Structure 1
Amino acid sequence: MAVFDHLGISVVDLSRGIAQFDPIMQALGFERTDAESSVAWFKDDDTTELILFPVREPEGGPHVHGRVGWQHLAFAVDSRDEVDRLHAIAMDAGWTAVRDPRIFPRFNDRYYASFVEDDSGIRIEFMHNPPRAADA
């Protein structure tokens, strides 16, 4: 059984959220399904889902990183090149770079990642953290 079934995120402007999330989610291999007042992306035979909803209280946004609530969602990918590719896709879709792709030695010497933020203050990370090579 999956640890997480779905993640719902409220965004300030649903149309803008779709424009920013869709290229990334498609690049990660998710399929999009539109509903009347939301949009969802599915993966792995519908066992993983990310859903965007319009915000209920427009005066409440955008989210501010570091306050109570959302921190970030990390997408684990298979290579540094994939981190770079997804970061470029996010930039093209209007996300803001928080941290450009690089090694983060404070985690370990293999941890390569980038962080981006959308117009609603939602932060995501693309990361590659291969296992430590076995000692010979």
Structure 2
Amino acid sequence: MRLFVISLVLCLSGFGTAQAQDAAAGEKTFLQCKACHQIGEGAKNSVGPVLNGVIGRKAGTIEGYSYSPANQNSGITWDEATFREYIRDPRAKIPGTKMVYAGVKDPKRVEDLLAYLKQFGADGKKAAQ
């Protein structure tokens, strides 16, 4: 009985925790984002703003990009939880955003995308692995 209880506790303790992140898989997910966003050294604003250093950055603050008032006034500072919510359904998180992307619905792909984005500092350089 004790073994059963220990097994059950170990099994249940995994629920609600984040899935493992895979930056290489996230890079593949980012291919969809590349239609509008750039990341890395030499990245420039395009249809969407540069995503270098996005985690930890206040929404609507990349110089030279014309954000929607909804994005500029959202009060959001991008952290992992906020990004997860936003990327699932951008228009639900920030009504009036210019971003027309329908979102990434698969939680594993969201985690992988986060792992990929987090590699890049505000300067566009990849952090040492």
User: How high is the TM-score relative to the length of structure 1?
Assistant: 0.25
User: How high is the TM-score relative to the length of structure 2?
Assistant: 0.26
Greater helix content? 2
Greater strand content? 1
